[in-house]
Amino acid sequence: MQSIPFIAWCLEHLNYWTITLLMAIESSFIPFPSEVVVPPAAYKSAMDGSMSPLLIVLFATLGADIGALVNYVLARFLGRPVIYRLAETRFGHMCLLDSEKVRKAEEYFDRHGAMGTMVGRLGPAVPQLISIPAGLARMSMGRFLLYTTIGAGLWNSILCGLGWYIGRNFSGQLEQKIAEYSGELRIAMLLVGVAAVGYLVYKGVKK
């Protein structure tokens, strides 16, 4: 598992500012899973009390917002042709982007609108993709940040709870437990997001 050395590094070096920086990177151009940032921070908090779980979630969500906002602003001001060309460059491929992924992200956003921005933070898709169609559609920045904050905050809270629980009950087993539970957590949170979208659609139809 390639993320294990990184998790070990996190346990030694994480603080609120590195959490913010890493989560901003995770949410922008260079994708890597938030599962290797937030749970180690919460695990460290449970083991030595060096950080507050509440502040871990707060700074992780702040970082996610910053990274998402970078992609949103670039997409909004560069426009669709430039974004699609960029996705097919070597740099775009290094960031796991291509025009097909951008197209599918736009289709997803067209179907689900603003709520898709929130639900996309909970699903298995690369989080940075969710911000691009919002920028291309010139979605209100305030609404974009609201839904991004809710989605990222929910996911980071779950990850923080997982790391704290492992620290309290499975000392020395952080890497194994993250690998064991992260897939199930993403599926559960995706179902929660889908249920939220379904409820809003139902309320809209009834009006």
Instruction: Name the residue type at position 45.
Output: S
What is the dihedral angle through the alpha carbons of 16, 22, 27, 33, rounded to the nearest 10 degrees?
Answer: -110
Q: How far apart are CA 178 and CA 188, in angstroms?
A: 15
Q: Which of the four pLDDT bands, split at 50, 70 and 90, describes residue 1?
A: very low
Closest by CA to 61, choosing from 156, 146, 147, 127, is 156
Report d(CA 115, CA 148) in Å as an integer.
9
30 Cβ contact list (under 8 Å, min separation 6): 95
**pLDDT for position 184:** 53
The pLDDT confidence band at residue 84, using thresholds 50, 70 and 90, is confident
Provide the strand spans (E) within the chain: none
pLDDT top residue among 183 and 59: 59
Hey, what are 74's tokens? 């670039």
In the predicted model, is pLDDT for residue 163 greater than 90?
Answer: no
User: How much is the average pLDDT of 51-60?
Assistant: 94
pLDDT of amino acid 2: 47
DSSP 8-state assignment for residue 25:
H
- CB hemisphere CA count around 107 (13 angstroms): 6
- How many CB atoms are located within 10 Å of the residue 81 CB? 8
Instruction: Measure the CA–CA gap between 5 and 8, rounded to whole angstroms.
Output: 5
Predicted pLDDT of residue 123: 56
> Do 28 and 70 touch, CB atoms closer than 8 A?
yes
Q: What pLDDT sits at residue 59?
A: 96
Is residue 11 very low, low, confident or very high in pLDDT (cuts 50, 70, 90)? low
**Domain regions of the chain by residue span:** 3-199
pLDDT in tens, 23-42: 888 887 666 666 778 888 88
CB 135 within 8 A of CB 73: yes
Q: What is the pLDDT of residue 188?
A: 54
More confident residue, 187 or 62: 62
pLDDT for 127: 60
